Structures are given as C-alpha cells and as structure tokens.
Amino acid sequence: HFVFYFAFFEIVLFLIAIATGYIFSKTSTQKLEILERNATKIENGDFNSSILLEGSDEFSHISKTMEKMRISIKEYVDQLNITIDKLKENNIIKDEFLENISHEFKTPLTTILGFIDCLTNETIGELNEKQKIAANKIGKNASKLSELISTLLLIQDKYREKWNEISLIETIKSVEERYSKLAKQKELEFVVNYSASDYIILADKDKFNSIINNLLGNAVKFTEKGKIAITINEAIGKRLVIITVMDTGIGIPEAKREIIFDKFVQIDGSSRRKHGGVGIGLYNTKEFVKDLNGDISIESKENIGTTVTVKFPYLRKGILNS
C-alpha cells in the first residue's frame, strides 16, 4: 500500500506541476500580449495609456521600466507640441504682417504706375527730354518694386494655391506683346517659336505666369544686343513640355553657375551693379517649377549668352487658335 500511495502522490504532484505551468504560461502569454498592445500604442503616438502590470514577476518589472519611459516620452512630446504651437503662431503673425504690408504697398504703387503711364504716354501733356528720362526712371523702379511685392505675395500664397487647367500657348501669348516692346526699346530681336500644338497643364495660374515672367524678364534685363527667343517643344514619348528661353546677353560667370538658383544670388553682386533686383527671381522660379513636378536647368557662357530650359508634364494637348 505504501508503494501505491507514493505513486499516487507523485501523480498528483505531476498534475499540479502541469496545472501550475499551464496557469503560469497562460498568465505570461496574457501579460506579453498586454505589453505588446501598449508598445504598439506608443509606436502609434498614444502616450496616454498606462503600461503598469500588477504583480512582482519579471513582466511586471518590465512594465514598470516601460511606464517610466512612457511618462518621459509623453512629457517630451507635450513640451515639443507646445513649442510647435508657438512657432506656428509666430509664423501666422509673420505671414499676416508680410501679407498686409505687401497689400498696403501694392495699392498705392498701382496708382503711381498708372500716373507714370499717363506721363510717359503724354496723355496729360507733352514732356521735354529731361522729363521723359525722369519719368521712365521712376516707372522702371516702381515696376521693380511692384514685381518684388508680387513675389512676396506669391510666396505667402504658397500653401493656398489654386490649381486649374491652363493653356500654355495662351499664357505665352498674354505676355508676348509686353516683352516684345521691352526688347524693341533695347533694339533687340524678340522671337517666339510656337509648337504645333497647345498644351494643357495643371498649375496655379499666378505662379506659372511668374515662371514665364521671370525667365523673359531676366533675358531682357541682361541682354544689351542681339536677340531673345522663347521656344515651346514636346519631349517625344515622355508627355513633357519643354520651354527654352535663349538670349545673347552677358551670361553667367562660372563661379555663379552652381549657385544661381540659391536665394539672393546676383550675377553682379557689387554695390554699384548696373542691373537691379534682389536675387530671388530664379530661386522662386525653381521652387514653382518643382511644384509642377518639373525641372529647370541653365547653360551659359560669359559674354555669349544664356539658355534656360524648363521641363514639366502636361495633361493633354489642346487645339491652337489661329
């Protein structure tokens, strides 16, 4: 009987061990699952749920360490969010100030430019030669200031773009007369080589106009003799439209070619430079072209000329209006 009881006792102990192991295994699995769920919450940015587990086993100790980490991360993230909110608030104030001041300048400048047009066109009376020269100088500088303010307003509107379908050829034609006149004043040849088709693109109209105006404006500004040509082509098989603006102007010095698209870079950086501007035109042009998923490049030789090439996708071809 002693052997029987001893065997029975061993079987009971074995069953208790199995049951204890099962219970411990199940408890461990549950705790592991809880820790995993909480770790996933932290990974997804939820730092508000406590990770603490009851008990004094290894998993509970791990949960205490994780809880300390969670609290530290939450405090850091909360402080970071406060800093970000302050920065956003400061940016809003700065943007509102720039926008308001730009609009305040724009309105009187438009009036000034209107009166200057009346003077130069002699609609309110004839001018002598000195008066004509003075009026033209005032007009040029007022136009430069107006363009700078327009650029500031465009930058302020960077995240409020109005994307629409735009006719490329109509856009070019809308500025052709203006730059043709400016070129004629400097006795330059101005040529537009239109493509066989129109191209419909998706873009913010003001910013796309700014690209064309910057490229043609620079070509006229930095060319004293020769010609300016704008050409519209298509990259066959790639659904890309290519615009090239070529001039026979002063070119870009080799030292400036690598940085010409950087902010505030000017071909002539001296204080007594002949050509005006603040050096943000090409930088903004590059940024606006990037918004179109496009690319811009420059080839230039000093005292020979410059060719700027812009490539970007188009939606479809359009019909040219005669």
- Sheet with 163-167, strands from edge to edge, namely 163-167, 198-204, 316-318
Between CA 217 and CA 175 the distance in angstroms is 10
Task: Determine the pLDDT at residue 117.
Answer: 72
Residue ending a domain, choose from 156, 191, 216: 156
Task: Determine the pLDDT at residue 273.
Answer: 46
Q: Which residues are CB-contacts of 58 (< 8 A; sequence separation ≥ 6)? A: none
Sign of CA dihedral 312, 318, 319, 322: negative
**Domain match, 206 and 302 both:** yes
Task: Determine the pLDDT at residue 271.
Answer: 39
**Domain match, 200 and 296 both:** yes
Residue ending a domain, choose from 131, 156, 181: 156
Place of tokens 């690598």: 258
Q: Which of 292, 260, 254 is nearest to 277 (CA)?
A: 260
How many structural domains does the chain have? 2
**Domain match, 72 and 118 both:** yes
Task: Determine the pLDDT at residue 227.
Answer: 94
Task: Determine the pLDDT at residue 133.
Answer: 82
**Domain match, 107 and 90 both:** yes
Q: Residue 296: beta bridge partners?
A: 310
Task: Determine the pLDDT at residue 31.
Answer: 64
Task: Determine the pLDDT at residue 310.
Answer: 95
**Domain match, 90 and 127 both:** yes
Our CA angle for 273, 278, 281, nearest 5°, is 120
Task: Determine the pLDDT at residue 23.
Answer: 41
- 3-state secondary structure at position 2: helix
**Domain match, 149 and 106 both:** yes
**Domain match, 110 and 186 both:** no
**Domain match, 258 and 181 both:** yes
**Domain match, 174 and 290 both:** yes
**Domain match, 109 and 232 both:** no
State how beta strands 305-313 and 198-204 pair: unpaired
**Domain match, 133 and 215 both:** no
CATH of the domain at 228: 3.30.565.10
Task: Determine the pLDDT at residue 20.
Answer: 47
Domain interval for residue 215: 165-318
Between CA 291 and CA 208 the distance in angstroms is 10
Residue ending a domain, choose from 128, 156, 184: 156
Q: Which residues of the chain have pLDDT under 50?
A: 1-6, 8-9, 12, 15-16, 19-24, 26, 159, 269-273, 275-276, 278
**Domain match, 211 and 296 both:** yes
